[in-house]
Structure 1
Amino acid sequence: MKISGFTLIELLVSITIFAILSAFSYAILNQSIISSFILDEKNERLRNIQRSIKLIEQDFIQIAPRPIRSELGEGYNGAITTNPTSGFALELTRSGWGNPLGLSRSNLQRVAYQMENDKLIRIHWNVLDRTLGNQFQKDILIDDIESISFTFLNENGEWLQQWPPLSDDKFLSITKRPLGITVIINFMQEGEIRRIFEVSP
């Protein structure tokens, strides 16, 4: 009885074909893993942006007409202010600060936003009328940002770059709130995001 089998050439051809198919399969699998990783990163980035915008919205719609004493006790800073001497892009007092532990504090919170390098930072204090020694908490909301800007809608339907308006009475303006706020964030990758928020009366 004649026994047939693979010749050396046939065996080498089979091994070569198997190696090529394995390489293709690995390349496809590797590309799928990379694509999945990139997609996960983009989705996480989008979720982070959405969370940050939601937090900004909560701050803006709950602005309280409560000014604060300056850190040196020489005057008052407005309930919402873009005063550049503070070092912040925007500073405000908001209501609705949750207190699940029943701590002895107000439900009002002083919040500020500023840019540090390419990061949007949110700062808050545990007291309203703070001094230079009061501690604060800084949270990085979003990175890879080129710029952030705010405009404010007054009772005349005008959008202003600064708040409180310079034309207003200084004493009355410290409790004055805009009717709405536009925030424009320019991202390095995603481009511009613009949102308009109504301030609760």
Structure 2
Amino acid sequence: LLDEPLSALDKKLREEMQLEFRRIQQELGVTTINVTHDQREALVMSDQIVVMSEGRIQQSDSPEAVYRAPSNRFVANFIGLTAMFKGAVETSDDGGILVRVGDTALKARAQGALGNGTAVDCALRAEQVRILGDAPNGDAGSFENVVTGEVRQRIFEGDRMVYEISVPALADAVLFAFDHDPLHHAEHRPRSQVRLGWNARDFFAFPSDQS
């Protein structure tokens, strides 16, 4: 049992030790339980992740499944930098759902059975949002959902730029977007207008009354 063994280390050393712990554990073949509040640490070091809240298991699955197919809004919001906002199901079929958020209908991926009119909590991770080019059509055709927003702030993290963007058409919901190549891409300053695109498979919708 490891109870947050790396929490006192600085970021660089902590990330190096995550890989070293993983290597040693695999070499020894010893079952290990690692308790951590660091989502990256859990994803890097684990074969199986158990996400808990208030003493209850929210999801127990592989790191890939927990990240790519969260079982509820708590897990979706807990793992990664995620924008959460309210909506309602407009239409639903076997191919997915259409969610009304503010003045806009968006294609989404339903997590569970969702009938027309169901109130939902929507989850969208920053790495799934793309800032589109300035051309009239740009690369918008590559995405099922496209909206326009205003940059509220940008944060330079060295290897990436993080944008916080308000979208009036989504009832002023705030989305996040990463630019992993800020030295070669256009820089978007606060109060500038940008277009954002993402696909339905990356846009989760959960029942709002889900525990």
- Which range, TM-score by smaller chain? under 0.3
Report the structure, 1 or 2, having the larger helix content: 1
Q: Name which one, 1 or 2, has greater alpha-carbon Rg.
A: 1
Report the structure, 1 or 2, having the larger strand content: 2
Taking structure 1 as the reference length, the TM-score comes to 0.21
Taking structure 2 as the reference length, the TM-score comes to 0.20
